[in-house]
Amino acid sequence: MITLTCRSYRARVDGENVVLEIDDAQPMNFVPQLMSKADVASRLHISIRKVAEIAQSGRLAVVRVDGAVRFREEDVLRLLTERQEPRPRLLALPPRASGRECEHRAVQHANQRQ
């Protein structure tokens, strides 16, 4: 016999059988699979530093076990499946030159060619 904990269930009769539809069922002795930063980095093919940045941003929940940082496998999978909006990229462009600066540069360029 297996004992499960669940958040909700539905029972229905199917002929002579009673069918239980169970949501979010887990065995009573279930221990989540915990991963280190190195495990997550290896699984996602990113650096350990990037894992730390993602965790610090709050996008990946942290579990602390006696001071050690660990991550639940389901949280890592959720990170992969969540919809991520593309972040706008900021480009650093040089300040635009005024008309006089453009003329000055054109004269300098012409003098260098001579």
Q: Which pair of tokens denotes residue 5?
A: 């904990």
What average pLDDT does the segment 79-103 reach?
68
> 37 with 60: CB under 8 angstroms?
no
Q: Note the pTM of the prediction, 2 decimals.
A: 0.49
| Lowest pLDDT segment from 16-20, 65-69, 81-85, 86-90 | 86-90
Domains by residue range for the chain, with CATH: 1-30 (no CATH), 32-82 (1.10.1660.10)
Confidence of residue 60 (pLDDT cuts 50, 70, 90): very high
Nearest CA-CA partner of 79 in 96, 58, 107: 58
Render pLDDT for 22-45 as a digit per residue (tens, 0 to 9).
666 555 556 678 999 999 999 899
Higher-scoring residue by pLDDT: 83, 26: 83
Beta strand segments in the chain, E: 4-5, 8-14, 17-23, 26-27, 34-35, 63-65, 68-72
Q: Up-side HSE of residue 83: CA atoms within 13 Å toward CB?
A: 1
CB 83 within 8 A of CB 59: no
CA gap 73, 75 in Å, rounded: 5
Tell me the pLDDT of the chain averaged across its residues.
77
Alpha-carbon Rg of the chain, whole angstroms?
29
